[in-house]
Amino acid sequence: MKNFEIIKKRRLAKNVCEYTIYAPSVARHCMAGQFVILRTDNDGERVPFTVCDYSRSEGTVRILVQEVGYTTLKLAEMKEGDALCDFVGPLGKPTDLSEYAKICLVGGGIGAAVIYPQAKQLQLEGKTFDVVLGAKNRDLLMYVDEFRGLADAFYPVTDDGSFGIKGFVTQELERLINGGMKYDCVFAVGPLPMMKAVCDVTRGYGIDTVVSMNTLMVDGTGMCGCCRVMLDGQVKYACIDGPEFDGHKIDFDEAMARGKLYAEHEHACRLRGGSWK
């Protein structure tokens, strides 16, 4: 097997694919919450992806990719047996929820990729936890069967009501809390506005909330500062201090503005249908 070879490619939704990459060097020390940086080809950019699953014995790392820009569209063109140019990790700090007893994992859209390894980890540790998973519609709701098998209770929600409860994850979370669920931690991963909204809910109930900041990055090792976020007025680097932070201390408005920085560039990529040159 070639290093960084795509062993398995599975389309989960219209613009979402799951890739299993052969990368024993990365799988060896990989833990839930960490991320990788990859380049598809020699002209490619460096893009971070949170590790969705890994197998140390098979030397594989799995990532979930939503097609939005050059790299993700290029990946979509690649086939099983093709190899990535570069694949480095595991980067960032692993998740640490050890101090909590009753946890609610909240995933939005592609954020399912980040709470999935966490669910597996918590199950291994014998902890009790619920999962609230949301998406626009049924097609974009990822790993439904897997979560159902792992969580104590699983609450799927969709914006359009095509699956599970109609509504947003925040409404479902609030309903659960008001219904008497005593969570001491909410672990929320998804688009920035969703994480911000979850934090706004939990703040009111005084529930610790951990979020995973999927920022823009270049090197991913603390060198460029592109991934910086403001945490309680302090500059933190998502790549080496995170990617997970206390959500109640994150300046989400700044993070959202930073996240949109190259939106036009990504849009141009999509218009060209992935063939950038």
The footprint of other proteins (CB under 8 A) covers 25-26, 28-29, 39, 43-46, 70-71, 85-91, 218-219, 221-226, 228-230, 235, 240, 251, 253-254, 256-258, 260-262, 265, 276-277
Tracing tokens 């979930």 back to the chain, one arrives at 64
Structure tokens given for 172: 């479902």
At closest approach, how far in Å is the CB of 259 from other proteins? 9
Q: Could you tell me the smallest distance in angstroms from the CB atom of residue 85 to other proteins?
A: 7
- Comparing CB distances to other proteins, the nearer of 144 and 240 is 240
Find the shortest distance in angstroms from Cβ 45 to other proteins: 4
Beta strands in 124-275 (DSSP E): 128-135, 153-158, 165-166, 185-189, 208-212, 228-231, 234-237, 244-246
Rounded to a whole number of angstroms, the minimum distance from the CB of residue 218 to other proteins is: 5
- State the amino acid at position 267 in one-letter form: H
- In the complex, what is the shortest distance from the CB of residue 18 to other proteins, in angstroms, rounded to a whole number? 22
**Nearest to other proteins of 167, 259 (CB atom):** 259
Residue with smaller CB distance to other proteins, 165 or 230: 230
Smallest separation, CB 115 to other proteins (Å): 22
Residue (185 or 229) nearer to other proteins, CB: 229
Q: What share of the chain is helix, strand, coil (3-state, %, to 5)?
A: 30, 30, 40
Residues 240, 241, 242, 244, Cα dihedral to 10°: 170
Count of CA atoms in the C-beta half-sphere (13 A) of 69: 15
d(CA 69, CA 243): 21
Pick 124 or 235: Cβ nearer other proteins: 235
Closest CA to 153 of 189, 180, 191, 114: 180
Closer residue to other proteins in complex, CB, 62/228: 228
